[in-house]
A and B are shown apart, each in its own frame.
Chain A
Amino acid sequence: MISKLIFSALLMFSVSGLHAAVRVITSSQDLESIAKIIGGDKAVVESLATGDLDLHLVEPRPSMVFKVRQADMVIRIGMDLDMWMDSIIAAARNKNVTYGSPGYVDVSAGIPKLQVPEGKVDASMGDIHIFGNPHYWLDPVNGISMAETIMKGFIRVSPENEAVFRKNYTAFVKDLGDKIDEWDKKMEPFAGRTLVTYHNSWIYFSQRFHLDIVGNVEPKPGLPPTPSHLAKLIETVKAKQAKVILVDTFFPLQGPRKVAEKTGASILVVPSSVGGKPNVKNYFDLFDAIINELVSAFNK
């Protein structure tokens, strides 16, 4: 019995050593989607979190540690959004993917960051991220920078496949560029429209498509809405004529409903990540879903 177990372990070691594809673990399905395109058939990619989860609050689990333990590359959002990845990476003891290793990829590295706080930051400001607002993937133009950072990671880990990764990256950038043109055209008529969001997660999106976010349902990032804050928000919505309340799929709807009842604004429950709704299977689907919903709401 013992000899069989030892033999199985040795066999697994040898098989894993011969593994050709780059094994990639991402913290979100947005990163998984882009990494799958760049890696092509040279990579096996899996996300730890699903798109229907609040990425701030994913609970680290031993089964996640096991996946990172076996990875050649880890791709994360950074900017303190997926802080739970720190404990998973530390527990996995995989030198390929620790901070500074070739297989450690923090996609926020090349992103022009918004809302980077200045001066003292503390909990009186809510759940403020000291490195800036981390929801950068919701600007599709940032998808190009994300793809470039991921491509560089692939090349570091698997330099023999550099040509493949560069080719896949070029194709992705072209496809994304075409889609951005399409999305820009769809959103162009609605430039300057006002809206409310549940959490401060849509600043990159609104800047790209020239929308004006006039308030959040949360009084401060991460804090639940209070009656007094909702009362003020209702006044703001009326004054600024906001017609849409944008809510990520996982947030509760009680607060938005109160605002909608008093103002007549429409609640739009939209995915903020790939996997946030069943039909949102990749990074392109994500913006198709959000923009189609918004266009319908603005046209009402």
Chain B
Amino acid sequence: MFSRIFSVFVTTLIFSTYIYAQTGAPSDSSGGTPPQGMRGTPVNLPDISVVGVLKGYVSDDKSDTERNKFVVDEIETAFQGYIYPEMRADVFLALHRHDNEYEAEICEAKVGFLNLAPGVAGEVGKIHVNFGKMNKVHSHTRPMIDQPTVLTNFFGDHGLVGQGGTLSYLLPVPFYLQMEGGAWRADPHHHHTEYETVEVPDGNGGTVEVLTEAAHEDTEFSFGDEFYTARAKTSFAPVRKSEIEIGSSFAHGKGAHYEEHKDIATVYGADLTLKLWPDSYRRWTFQNEWLRLKREVPVGTLTRDGFYSFLSYRFNKYVDLGGRWDYAENAFPTKVIERAISGILSYHLTETSALRVQYKRRRVEGQTINEGWTELVFGIGPHSHELE
């Protein structure tokens, strides 16, 4: 079912782009500087860039195997360019560090159709899904080192990523209003299984050791197999040098451990962001995001909530100071609430490189854990800004 929808979707996108490109009016307005991705080097290379993340982490949680280390956390390469008029490809390949090992991964690989019809754009490929404010942002462009806990609990360590397609429409209303819908597939997770040895009678009066699957429930959650998303976002500037963004998001589909848990999940999201620019460099950011997970399992429906609130002030061209408050319930099985506060200080060396430190104090099941990070993010090569 999903494959058929996806095939029809991609065919329609490509055909629409072809038709639209043929009707584009020729003009002599192409002088000047080509935009990013259209630099047209003599050998027709795409824009190529590398982003590296060096990260140090300390914690007073002695069970944390990642603590007290300074490591290369991520190296991401980007290849970006146009493949057809108003059709561009963006490929992000990454080496991530997981559990003391490096894993190669296609972080994102997508083809974007910039102008399918008036106000309509689309993307197909492996994509960070546009859910809420933070999920689409790559980790090194976040204004903080760690991901808000609610996103980790409901979408996993890398957020909500799917293979599929999305269509967005900028509505012809007298203010900014964009609607977006996507259909996706994500690989189901390998169910974490623990085994234990038990002694059972051998029928001869003795016993024999048998390996059996232990009773266990995974606490992690994300979507797997087919899932569908939608987002609506509006934005306006109440006064000059200000911006208010309001969004609502929706995701529905099977859980990543569907084979074991038989769970159908829905996540609702709402976000509100206020930005103020007192002058050229100073900026206030107040960003809030709330998510609710409803998970239907054979024994009933679980409802879990999570929220973060982030307040940041940019003092000048180089320095940001911010704080974040997290409230997050875990996705499964029994409810565990985590509350945390974080302080984040960033120093921007250039537009593509930054030094950052973060302190986080979190409280889970009566236990208080103190954590700290240092991070150096560096960028080499052309860099393209995306709307946050």
Where the two chains meet, the residues of A that have a C-beta atom closer than 8 Å to any C-beta of B are 9, 12-13, 16, 50, 52-54, 57, 59-63, 65-66, 69, 76, 78-80, 83-84, 86-93, 95, 98-110, 122-123, 127, 131, 149, 152-153, 156, 222-224, 250, 252
Interface residues on B, range: 35 or more
**Do A83 and B36 have beta carbons less than 8 Å apart?**
yes
Candidates A13, A54, A149; contact of B172 at CB < 8 Å: A13
Candidates A57, A107, A131; contact of B281 at CB < 8 Å: A57
B169: min CB distance to chain A, Å? 9
- B43 at the binding interface (Cβ < 8 Å): no
Taking CB atoms and an 8 Å cut-off, the chain B residues in 60-86 that contact chain A are: 85-86
Q: Which stretch (B102-110, B214-222, B232-240, B355-363) binds chain A?
A: B232-240
A102 neighbours in B (Cβ, 8 Å): 25, 27, 29
Known contacts A65-B176, A69-B170; decide if A250 and B32 are in contact (CB<8 Å): no
- B199 at the binding interface (Cβ < 8 Å): no
Residue of A nearest to B240 (CB): A50
B353 neighbours in A (Cβ, 8 Å): 123
Question: How far is A176 from B279 in the complex, measured between Cα atoms in Å?
Answer: 31
A12-B174, A91-B170, A93-B120 are known; give 4 further A-B pairs, CB within 8 A. Answer: A12-B173, A60-B387, A102-B27, A223-B350
Between-chain CB contacts (< 8 Å), 24 pairs: A9-B172, A52-B279, A57-B351, A60-B385, A61-B237, A63-B236, A66-B176, A69-B170, A87-B385, A90-B35, A93-B120, A93-B121, A93-B170, A95-B20, A95-B115, A95-B118, A98-B115, A99-B34, A104-B27, A104-B30, A123-B353, A156-B27, A250-B281, A252-B317
Candidates A52, A57, A104; contact of B317 at CB < 8 Å: A57
**Do B175 and A127 have beta carbons less than 8 Å apart?**
no
Residue of B nearest to A90 (CB): B114
- B206 at the binding interface (Cβ < 8 Å): no
- B202 at the binding interface (Cβ < 8 Å): no
Question: How far is A110 from B29 in the complex, measured between Cα atoms in Å?
Answer: 12
**Do A93 and B118 have beta carbons less than 8 Å apart?**
yes
Number of A-B contacts (CB under 8 A): 142
Question: How far is A52 from B280 in the complex, measured between Cα atoms in Å?
Answer: 7
- B296 at the binding interface (Cβ < 8 Å): no
Residue of B nearest to A127 (CB): B350
**Do B280 and A12 have beta carbons less than 8 Å apart?**
no
Known contacts A62-B245, A92-B170; decide if A99 and B350 are in contact (CB<8 Å): no
Residue of B nearest to A249 (CB): B280
Question: How far is A279 from B30 in the complex, measured between Cα atoms in Å?
Answer: 35
**Do B385 and A224 have beta carbons less than 8 Å apart?**
no
- B277 at the binding interface (Cβ < 8 Å): yes
**Do B235 and A12 have beta carbons less than 8 Å apart?**
no
**Do B29 and A156 have beta carbons less than 8 Å apart?**
yes
Question: How far is A143 from B304 in the complex, measured between Cα atoms in Å?
Answer: 60
Question: How far is A207 from B233 in the complex, measured between Cα atoms in Å?
Answer: 48
**Do B29 and A63 have beta carbons less than 8 Å apart?**
no
- B31 at the binding interface (Cβ < 8 Å): yes
Candidates A80, A95, A127; contact of B33 at CB < 8 Å: A80
Q: Which 3 A-B pairs have the closest CB atoms?
A: A106-B32, A109-B31, A62-B235
A54 neighbours in B (Cβ, 8 Å): 280-281, 317
Taking CB atoms and an 8 Å cut-off, the chain B residues in 254-286 that contact chain A are: 275, 277, 279-281, 283
Question: How far is A80 from B35 in the complex, measured between Cα atoms in Å?
Answer: 8
Candidates B33, B233, B386; contact of A79 at CB < 8 Å: B33
B103: min CB distance to chain A, Å? 29
Question: How far is A91 from B120 in the complex, measured between Cα atoms in Å?
Answer: 10
B121 neighbours in A (Cβ, 8 Å): 93
**Do B384 and A86 have beta carbons less than 8 Å apart?**
yes
- B45 at the binding interface (Cβ < 8 Å): no
B277 neighbours in A (Cβ, 8 Å): 59
**Do B38 and A99 have beta carbons less than 8 Å apart?**
yes
Question: How far is A101 from B23 in the complex, measured between Cα atoms in Å?
Answer: 12
Question: How far is A76 from B32 in the complex, measured between Cα atoms in Å?
Answer: 10
Question: How far is A252 from B281 in the complex, measured between Cα atoms in Å?
Answer: 10
B40: min CB distance to chain A, Å? 11
**Do B29 and A104 have beta carbons less than 8 Å apart?**
yes
Residue of B nearest to A79 (CB): B33
Candidates A76, A91, A99; contact of B30 at CB < 8 Å: A99
B141: min CB distance to chain A, Å? 13
**Contact pattern, B 170-204, Cβ under 8 Å of A = 1, otherwise 0:** 10111110100000000000000000000000000
**Do A106 and B36 have beta carbons less than 8 Å apart?**
no
- B326 at the binding interface (Cβ < 8 Å): no
Residue of A nearest to B241 (CB): A50
Known contacts A78-B32, A99-B38; decide if A83 and B385 are in contact (CB<8 Å): yes
- B371 at the binding interface (Cβ < 8 Å): no
**Do A101 and B27 have beta carbons less than 8 Å apart?**
yes
**Do B25 and A93 have beta carbons less than 8 Å apart?**
no
Question: How far is A86 from B386 in the complex, measured between Cα atoms in Å?
Answer: 9
Question: How far is A82 from B28 in the complex, measured between Cα atoms in Å?
Answer: 21
Residue of B nearest to A105 (CB): B29
**Do B34 and A224 have beta carbons less than 8 Å apart?**
no
**Do A100 and B29 have beta carbons less than 8 Å apart?**
yes
Question: How far is A262 from B170 in the complex, measured between Cα atoms in Å?
Answer: 56
Taking CB atoms and an 8 Å cut-off, the chain B residues in 102-146 that contact chain A are: 114-115, 118-121
